[in-house]
Structure 1
Amino acid sequence: MTNQDLINELLKGDYLNTLRIIKAFEKVDRADFVMPADKDEAYENFPLEIGHGQTISQPATVAFMLEKLQPEVGNKVLDVGSGSGWQTALLSEIVGDKGEVIGLEIRDELVELGRENLKKYNFSQGKIIKGNGWQGLAEEAPFDRIIVAAAAETIPDSLKQQLKIGGRLVIPVGRGMHDIIVIDRLSKDNFEERYYPGFSFVPLINF
């Protein structure tokens, strides 16, 4: 399979619809973010291990969550659980050089892996730092968009509070099978939630 084969599969399955997200998948090659031993499976529609008990997510799930997130050109985005950096790179391509994407990763080894992978694309607008995803990144808040690539048992209030008014959080929540929850901040204290069940994620680590 090729990267275009993967994109065609995601289009056929109705996981990809938005042009700027499709173009990001065309520009940012998943093969640049998998482990060397998994290069032959980079374009398969399933998660792959990246070490330390973590995975690079299934492409269909990444596409689904990005479509729900609807990041826009110029947005400031927090990418929690950045792992090998693929989603951080996709987001960096989407928001463009007027935007900003901060990948947040708790494991030192994956922070370094993600940074090395991100260097392949020379994005001035994307970076990865070490931090606890449960706490978010208050010193960089507020964010237009926050996306989380690992499942929390409950919705971290810290992430909701770091959204701009009009901002959006997409996060998997639950035990066992997970719901992807889309949370829009309508005002300071008013949030709207939509639930999409039937997903499986690694847990969001909270040290």
Structure 2
Amino acid sequence: MENKAFFGILGVPMENYQGLVEKLIDEGYLKTPDIIRAFQHVGRAGFLPDEKKEDAAVNAPLPIGYGQTISQPLTVAFMIELLQPKKGDHIFDVGYGSGWQTALLSTLVGPGGRIVAIERVRPVADFGRHNVEVFGCTNVTFVVGDGTRGYKKNAPYDKIIVAAGAEQIPKALLEQLTVPGRLVIPVGRHEHDMVKIDRKGKKDFSEERFPGFQFVPLIPSEWGSE
């Protein structure tokens, strides 16, 4: 579905969101042409609760219920730029929440790629899945379960992105990366470093850290994945 129609249904002016995208470009958070086009195509309002849609162009995290949030656009841009999704990639999206980031990734990998999106909180998972399906994405597999364990059924993954803060990097996520492969994950106890990990060999990993982020915690589930 094209942006104009999508936003017309919701009654949210497209130019407000496009102004936010331009600001992220001007400030250097959005750099890669394909990623810029994805942000221009996938508006934020369609992934928010009705009472928050008018805030879609606000560069801040917003609540989506059950203690969860849709991330700040600046942060989503920063993480996706670190991840560098490519056409045809197989990506594991941990903590998909509202589904906005999932739709961005779906657009970036194209019809030849695949997104496996996992969410722990069932009502949030249902909300996000509905949003992604309404937007028209057809290359996404949705899972309800514990993202800290990865999802072996569809592994390995070219790239993994995590939208919740982990106290330490889950071993399962590293093991489920391809070689080469990349993981982007916030790590820390209260404030988080954004960590980019590149897998170069079976046991060969390199790491780069970017401080100054804050996320809801990545919480293991007591049950498996559905």
Larger Rg over CA atoms: 2
Deviation at 1:83, TM superposition (A): 0.1
Deviation at 1:202, TM superposition (A): 0.4
- In the alignment, residue 24 of structure 1 is paired with which amino acid? A
SS of 1:6's partner is helix
* 1:52 aligned onto 2:66: yes
Corresponding residue number in structure 1 for 2:186: 172
TM-score, normalised on structure 1? 0.98
* 1:201 aligned onto 2:215: yes
- In the alignment, residue 114 of structure 2 is paired with which amino acid? E
Which of 56, 60, 78 is matched with 1:42 structurally? 56
Q: How does 1:85-164 map to 2 (within 5 A)?
A: 85-164=99-178
Structure 2 gaps, min length 5:
1-14, 222-226
Q: Distance in 1 between matches of 2:177 and 2:75?
A: 22
SS of 2:118's partner is strand
Structure 1 gaps, min length 5:
none
CA contact (8 A) 1:82 1:128 kept: no
- In the alignment, residue 159 of structure 1 is paired with which amino acid? L
Question: Paired residues, what number?
Answer: 207
Residue range with higher mean Cα deviation, 120-129 or 195-204: 120-129
- In the alignment, residue 25 of structure 2 is paired with which amino acid? L
- In the alignment, residue 131 of structure 1 is paired with which amino acid? G
Q: Deviation per CA, 1:155-195, whole angstroms, max 9, x where unpaired?
A: 00100000000110000000111000000000001100000
Corresponding residue number in structure 1 for 2:41: 27
Corresponding residue number in structure 2 for 1:183: 197
Deviation at 1:128, TM superposition (A): 2.1
Deviation at 1:127, TM superposition (A): 3.0
> 4+ runs of 1 displaced by more than 6 Å?
none
Q: Distance in 2 between matches of 1:150 and 1:25?
A: 21
CA contact (8 A) 1:180 1:197 kept: yes
TM-score, normalised on structure 2? 0.90
